[in-house]
Amino acid sequence: MKIVIPDGDTLALPDMKAHILEIFSKYGEVICNGATSPDEVAGKIGDADAVLCNKTPITREVIHQCKNLKYIGLFATGYNNIDIPAASERKITVCNAGEYSTHAVVQHTFALLFSLAGNLNAYHKAVSQGEWERSQVFSYFPYPVHELYQKTIGIIGYGSIGRNVAKVADALGMRVIINTRTKPESCPFALVSQEEIFRQSDVVTIHCPLTEQTANLIRKETLNLMKPSAYLINTARGGIVCEQDLADALNQEKIAGAGLDVLVQEPMSPETPLKSAKNCLITPHIAWSAVETRERLLQIVSDNLEAYLAGSPKNQVN
């Protein structure tokens, strides 16, 4: 079996590349490319039997050109970069890696929230500039710090990540409300409409997939429903947020702040209006990237490929 990895750089620190080859070489010849531009994809895949990719677009045209392709394994939960109908027509099995990043994304969600509620960026900058050294009193707090205790957190999406965010928030003494497309069988928290999520919440955090229904869910109309003291957290997908509308809301102080790990264009465009927006904390799509998380991801992708070769695919999405 010939296996091509077109975007290995999305997975690996330098010391993990040999590990990636070690894991997958037991299944056949492995060719690991650091990165592949969209116009190079078909050529890089060539006559391979399997592709293991993260964000590389596998389009209908690529599938048409790669005649030997039988299996696509994703180093990701989302699979919107794969033309699923085209793969199904060719009877190509597509398998994703579900729930590998739950713990890391939950951790990062609260890291963003704690930073905003504690004004940590402002305090770090102040201390670095010597303001505490010049203070006349022992405790220097010119910037507001807020407790999360008894605040309302509205969680959009109640899959594995949303459920675990709810557990942590509940442990912090927050009031948890949920909005989800599919009503869960058992949920100890109040299920409310999207409108009520925005109206009631002191924190709105997004944990749903990017679909036609959720694209630009965060826009002027929904932001206008939020409290001026509320925070928005997005560790899901950038396309769920209309970036200009969010930048306007932040700059006009219609909401208090935003913590974002994902943007519409990645790597970030220098033109994104959020780059200079007030109280907007942006991290470069790292919520999933903990070392332990990536180890878990590699194991899931390996297990998926092994199951496929044994004739019993798991985590198949088509």
Kindly give, in sequence order, each residue whose CB lies less than 8 Å from that of residue 17, ignoring residues fewer than 6 positions away: 8, 32
- Domain 2-100+291-309 fold is Rossmann fold (3.40.50)
Answer for the pair 241, 218: CB distance below 8 angstroms, yes or no.
yes
Task: Note the pLDDT of residue 296.
Answer: 94
Note whether 2-100+291-309 and 102-282 share their fold.
Answer: yes
The catalytically annotated residue of 163, 207, 285, 296 is 285
Task: Note the pLDDT of residue 109.
Answer: 98
Task: Note the pLDDT of residue 13.
Answer: 64
The catalytically annotated residue of 207, 237, 294, 296 is 237
- The dihedrals phi and psi of 291, each to the nearest 5 degrees, come to -55, -45
The mean pLDDT of the chain is 95
| CATH architecture entry for 102-282 | 3-Layer(aba) Sandwich (3.40)
Q: Quick check: is 266 catalytic?
A: yes
Q: Quick check: is 199 catalytic?
A: no
Which residues in the chain come in under a pLDDT of 70?
13-15
Answer for the pair 10, 75: CB distance below 8 angstroms, yes or no.
yes
State yes or no: cis peptide before 313, omega within 30 of 0: no
Residues in the chain: 318
Task: Note the pLDDT of residue 186.
Answer: 87
Q: Quick check: is 19 catalytic?
A: no
Domain ranges of the chain: 2-100+291-309, 102-282
| pTM of the shown model | 0.90
Q: What is the distance between the alpha carbons of residues 54 and 141, in angstroms, rounded to a whole number?
A: 44
Task: Note the pLDDT of residue 15.
Answer: 65
